[in-house]
Structure 1
């Protein structure tokens, strides 16, 4: 926080100085009256003393619950207006049970406490948002409110980009995690809203959400790994979802969190809800305030990184690792039987914040294995391109939940301060793990022709070797259970 623009506020010291000044002024005035000095100066001193006492009384009835060590603006815009309307704002605009990642105000989605011990003794509120350029090019502040509804303190928000943004008509939108330091007493940061430094733009008030870590309820032995999936659009295939989820279950994924926007396949949703009922899947639905009819899938791409970060901060303290890969891909151990044993081996190689897996395409144009159940997509498409993607291109990652701050669909864009880890991400050798990516070729016609030449295809049988028979059995069992 810049000390040139902010004053160090110490309410108790300031009140003590004010009361001392008031008593001194009144005492002097009374002394002058009793000694016969009935001058204009006497009247002024008496008036000043009474005025100071009146101000102190009014302040005590409207005391803001702040922290003596925190810095707030010396001249906060519209502070009087905010005090008068705070209760009304909370009552009318606060979404009290923000279970889903919903659209709020100026595209501010959600706010979470971050109290990880790897933050060098600091605590933050992380606000997940998509901002218009007219907002993100200005200084932003987090204005906090006590659980009573009174304003408490404000801090300058540090912006961490989680996406490259997208232009639409006269706007340019961009995805961020805003980081705002808070006091040890989290009750003074029960609610928050974001505003520009000039107060020309302001979000609605929202409750800052807790996670097991901020509540002090983290288990002694947290579960191993969660997959935070970005966002799903349109009409994905329900059978592919079953195969994909069953494969992860067999690889010992503990939880998968899905995010839906503009879904048109009810069977797909039914599958997700069936897995949700048994606790393996969490389902979230996203709002998109800047989307227009017919453009949900293009502008909705701006929801991808916010969804991932919402999932990440919601689950702080529950899982040691956070994976990020989509419905058309899966990270496959090449030597180990499951994710826990793979991660244990990788931890011995480097103290990194993330493990980055090279991408290997299984384009549908490379052909199918007709002996496999036609409803199963991954096992039916074992053939891959002759070479994996270049290092750093379309990688997918598994992150240490202790050590990352701003997540993108491919890698972490910001880590916690060192020395918690020695390096950002470890490129995983392809003989240990790969991201197997199943889709239609999406490059230009010439490139696709070269990459899908059947003569050069490889028989990527690792998934079948690892899971083939048991995956087929579990897939068919689940299909029968859900659809009869």
Structure 2
């Protein structure tokens, strides 16, 4: 070994403890000062990436008004309007508003006058679903928007902004990431119907649905656990919907009978928001309640059903599906599906209820819908309010809703109902899949 090598080795051996000590000191400093990924809320907020506050909530107050923004979406179909903001407005307080845009790197020079469209369906409640249409600001490619009482962009910089969604438009011919998405409007109160919810979701999987979306205000603890399980596997999206923090929602349809500020926990708003949320992700969107299954009767899957319907009606964008009631008070007598493992699971076992009411066509009989979201501008619960295509009534023998609930026509005996075992056709896959879902969520144990 040369003298130079020995000297270098000696110097390094003397410096080594010092280097280690310094490195440890730096590591300790970084651990203390930098945000930890394992500590929620310690990150730099997303809004700090921009010179304004970005909303992280599903309901955002409009500064200085009695109105609320829900979601901002790029609008490609309406001439002269570039962004649609799904909103909730106090109907007696509509006032001139301006859309203030952030253009990705700088502000639009001035706010653009907004066009406010309160939906025609509000059932007489003080608050109603509202579309706010915003013109495209000159020379701006907007990424965020807010509503303001003044056109001055500087005045609005302290407002809360929404991120504009659907900026990446998909061509009509391009393959959609999803084929079918179910939008379930509202989950509130202590609803804890675990078994029926699991059966419904597993049934939809067999029908070729790829995503279910639920807007949740609250639910029971057991159902909360099931929701988390389905969310973890990517099949379910739960949108927090704390409308009760902003107003008194009604659990009914008539303000004189049920009271409240907005009907049925803002159901119309959630349906419209879900249509736009999945407009460029899903070829079809199903709009129905949590205890309803839109079921084909001459096809095995919704894919096969819609291929035939679309071939027959190429211009159709809205397909109305009749709601058929299966009274939960009437049970199938053999006990074939009275499974011991399901008895302690909260909720209704839909496979035990195979008797269906004949709809009374002498009175209004509501439907739910399968829609092509790009053809719909505004929707209500049982029909669309504005759309760009044809509307088709699907014959009930081809497809109708299996809706297990309290009877609609009270007093009917079993002999006055129709036997309908369609759900049993999926037994071989449905039953074990429900067991797996309940086991995954911790309701059933193996062995």
The TM-score by the shorter chain falls in which range? Answer: 0.7 to 0.9
Match of 1:415 among 387, 390, 401: 387
CA contact (8 A) 2:112 2:135 kept: no
Looking at structure 2, the residues matched to 480 and 377 of structure 1 have their Cα atoms a distance apart, in angstroms, of 16
The 1-side partners of 2:139 and 2:303 are apart by 36
1:182 aligns with 2:107: no
Q: What is the CA-CA distance between 1:158 and the residue it aligns to? A: 4.0
Question: Which of the residues 329, 342, 353 maps onto 2:292?
Answer: 329
User: Any unmatched runs of 5+ in structure 1?
Assistant: 1-86
TM-score (norm 2): 0.73
Aligned CA-pair RMSD: 3.1
Does structure 1 residue 471 correspond to structure 2 residue 435? no
Superposition map of 1:370-449 within 5 A:
370-373=335-338, 375=342, 377-387=349-359, 393-416=365-388, 421=389, 423=390, 425-441=391-407, 447-449=409-411
CA distance in 2, matches of 1:386, 1:127: 41
Structure 2 unmatched ranges of 5 or more: 1-46, 253-257, 343-347
CA contact (8 A) 2:359 2:365 kept: no
Between structure 1 and structure 2, the one with the greater Rg is 1
Deviation of 1:284 after TM superposition, in Å, equals 0.9
**Alpha-carbon deviations, 1:24-80, whole Å to 9, x = none?**
xxxxxxxxxxxxxxxxxxxxxxxxxxxxxxxxxxxxxxxxxxxxxxxxxxxxxxxxx
> How far apart are residue 104 of structure 1 and its match?
2.2
1:112 is matched with: 72
Give the count of matched residue pairs: 366
Native 8 Å contact 1:358 1:389 kept in 2: no
Once the two structures are TM-superposed, the CA of residue 150 in structure 1 deviates from its matched residue by 5.3
The answer to whether the aligner puts 1:303 opposite 2:275 as a matched pair is no
Tell me the CA shift for residue 194 of structure 1.
Answer: 4.7
Q: Counterpart of 1:270? A: 225
For each residue in 1:193-234, what CA deviation from the matched residue of structure 2 results, as whole angstroms up to 9, or x when unmatched? 15499xxxx9953223222xx224679310211111101112
Structure-1 separation of matches of 2:360 and 2:139: 50
Write the deviation string for residues 76-119 of structure 1: whole angstroms up to 9, x where unpaired: xxxxxxxxxxx99x867x334x3x52242334232323344xx2
**Aligned-residue offset at 1:157:** 1.2
Q: Hey, what's the Cα distance between the residues in 1 that align with 2:363 and 2:305? A: 20
Q: Does 1:249 align with 2:205?
A: yes
> Could you say what secondary structure the match of 1:448 adopts?
coil
Separation (CA, whole Å) in 2 of partners of 1:454 and 1:185: 67
Q: Does 1:462 align with 2:422?
A: yes
1:19 maps to what in 2? none
Q: CA deviation at 1:399?
A: 0.6
Alignment of 1:139-288 (within 5 A): 139-147=96-104, 148-149=106-107, 151-161=109-119, 163-167=121-125, 172-183=126-137, 187-188=141-142, 190-195=144-149, 204-211=159-166, 214-216=167-169, 220-222=174-176, 223-236=178-191, 237-263=193-219, 265-288=220-243
Indicate the SS of the match to 1:317: coil
Q: Secondary structure at the match of 2:289?
A: coil
Q: CA deviation at 1:129?
A: 1.7
Aligned pair in 2 of structure 1 residues 463, 275: CA closer, same or farther (>3 Å)?
Answer: same
Distance 1:269 1:248 in 2: 19
Contact 2:213–2:237 (8 Å) recurs in 1: yes
Shift of 1:120: 6.2
Q: Residues 130 and 123 of structure 1: is their aligned pair in 2 closer, same or farther, counting only changes over 3 Å? A: closer
